Amino acid sequence: MKILLGVSSSIAAHRALDVASALRKTGAEVRAVLTENVPHLIGPGAFDAITHQRTVTSLWGSAHAGDMDHLAATKWADVFAIVPATANTLAVLAHGIASDALGTFAVAWAKGPLLIAPAMNPDMWRNAAVQANVSVLQTRGHEFIGPVSGSTACDDVGLGRLAAVDDIVAMILETGHRAGRPKKLSGKKILITGGPTREFADRFRCITNPSTGRQALSLAAQAVLEGAEVTLILGPTELNLPPGIKVVRRITTAQEMLSATLAELPNQDAAIFAAAVSDWRPASEFAGKLKKTDAASHLEMRLERTPDVAAACNQQRKLGQVFVGFAAETENLEGYAGEKMTRKGFSLVFANPIGEANAGFASHNNRGLLLRADGSKLEVPTASKTAIARLILEELTPMLS
């Protein structure tokens, strides 16, 4: 296995030496590429000594005449891991900035997702700009490990520490093994619904929910990486779409989602219902904008049920199509998810709690209970939505063979 190891100028950069050493002990080949400020913390000679390869710190001065390092190394490597990734490096990656060696290598990388291990002060990690860059990278299918909670070098405590070396090494090796095997979903067609719906009371006010569509987009990105042809039915979301989606249909209401899903369903091998569809809508819509000054101090509104998208699709499914569902609940995860599985014909249901920090709506992470049609279940601890998407697709794949 050939590993390209990107290193940026966090105080945790010395841990990259441990990662390189551990990878070498597994028999992997490792080449390091450093941002321009890493040598202020660790000299490139240390990486040379551990990797037995020339460390790249600049796009100038290649060791071989005519050799373009950013092309030669990215064509050589099986995996590109960035350990650690600073806030600045996350911005470079998210926006495709090729102003130094590491950024240029990342732009030239075309073999699958980057593996990114962030490390920074907890306040920096929470910064809205940093989180926006993380969202962009996750939507494109890149994989994160960490950061983890603990005491940082500046003595602050919180989420920002580099993940454990053993965990990083294990994920790099797992990514390398996946890169070397055939794509599991090649030739399969998968429909995915995602995001919220909006049900309007007047032209500008609506009933909706906090869903961002991140889990659906993670599923779509991972399915494309596994070779699937993905059709995405997506409610209102500001997240960027992953590349490689075959069909994207934008909808707003539950009725629009139902119509779009039924139209696309006949040609699909599987459907994953990850959208957070509003259960209720106003029975009638006020014309224009209902102004506060035009109404009494209290306003009563009659609601009616929206169509059940997955249940309606279950009535029209073709033989052999596999359905996967989600159940966002505040209580009785297993009971409510099991009822949905039976009523909607799901082969898998991922039940997750909502209203918790670091899980569910508007979070990069999730946790929950995966129910299978045979009655077995799997407790899923808190993990990134990318990791959960990969788990769901691993469960789905054998059902499509």
Where in the chain are all domains bearing CATH 3.40.50.10300? 189-283+302-400
Looking at residue 205, its pLDDT comes to 87
Q: 48-57, 137-146, 261-270: which range is least confident on average? A: 137-146
Pairing of strands 365-372, 348-353: antiparallel
Start-end of CATH 3.40.50.1950 domains in the chain: 2-179
Query: What single-letter amino acid sits at 273?
Result: F
- Total number of residues shown for the chain: 401
pLDDT value at residue 189:
96
How far is the C-alpha of 181 from the C-alpha of 156, rounded, in Å?
42
CA distances from 257 to 204, 215, 232, 278, 329 (A): 20, 17, 11, 11, 21
State how far the Cα of 348 lies from the Cα of 324, in Å rounded to an integer. 5
Do residues 180 and 78 lie in contact, with contact meaning Cβ atoms separated by under 8 Å?
Answer: yes
- Determine the Cα–Cα distance for residues 185 and 193; give it in Å rounded to an integer: 18
CA pair distance 367, 358, nearest whole angstrom: 9
Q: Which of 154, 157, 170, 283 is catalytic?
A: 154
Angle at 272 between CA 380 and CA 170, to 5 degrees: 40
Residue 36 burial by Cβ neighbours in a 10 Å radius (0-12, 13-18, 19+):
middle
Q: Which two tokens stand for residue 237?
A: 């979301």
- Per-residue pLDDT tens digits for 306-342: 999 999 999 999 999 999 999 988 888 889 899 999 9
> What's domain 189-283+302-400's superfamily in CATH?
CoaB-like (3.40.50.10300)
Beta strands (DSSP E) in 29-135 are 29-34, 79-85, 115-118
pLDDT (tens digit per residue) in 149-172: 777 666 777 788 898 888 889 888
Tell me the DSSP string of 114-177: -EEEE---HHHHH-HHHHHHHHHHHHTT-EE---EEEE-TTS-EEEEEPPPHHHHHHHHHHHHH
Provide the pLDDT confidence category of residue 64 given band limits of 50, 70 and 90.
very low
CA 201 to chain centre: 33
Measured between alpha carbons, how far is 281 from 383 in angstroms, rounded to an integer? 33
H/E stretch holding 73 reads helix 69-76
How many separate helices (H) and strands (E) can be counted in the chain?
A: 13, 19
Q: What is the pLDDT of residue 321?
A: 96
Total-model pTM? 0.72
DSSP state of 317: P
Beta bridge partners of 338: none
Put residue 27 in one of left, alpha, beta given phi > 0 → left and psi -120 to 50 → alpha: left
Kind of pairing between the strands at 270-273 and 189-194: parallel
- Class of CATH domain 2-179: alpha beta
| For residue 68, pLDDT beyond 60 | no
pLDDT tier at 202, thresholds 50, 70, 90: confident
313 is catalytic: no
Residue 3 — pLDDT band, cuts 50, 70, 90? very high
Tokens of 57: 């710190």
Whole-number Å distance between alpha carbons of 326 and 333 = 11
Q: What is the pLDDT of residue 319?
A: 92
**Could you give the C-alpha distances from 7 to 37, 126, 143, 169, 335, in angstroms and in order?**
10, 21, 16, 14, 47
Distance, CA of 173 to CA of 278 (rounded, Å)? 41
Work out the pLDDT band at 288, boundaries 50, 70, 90.
confident
How does strand 143-144 pair with strand 79-85?
A: unpaired
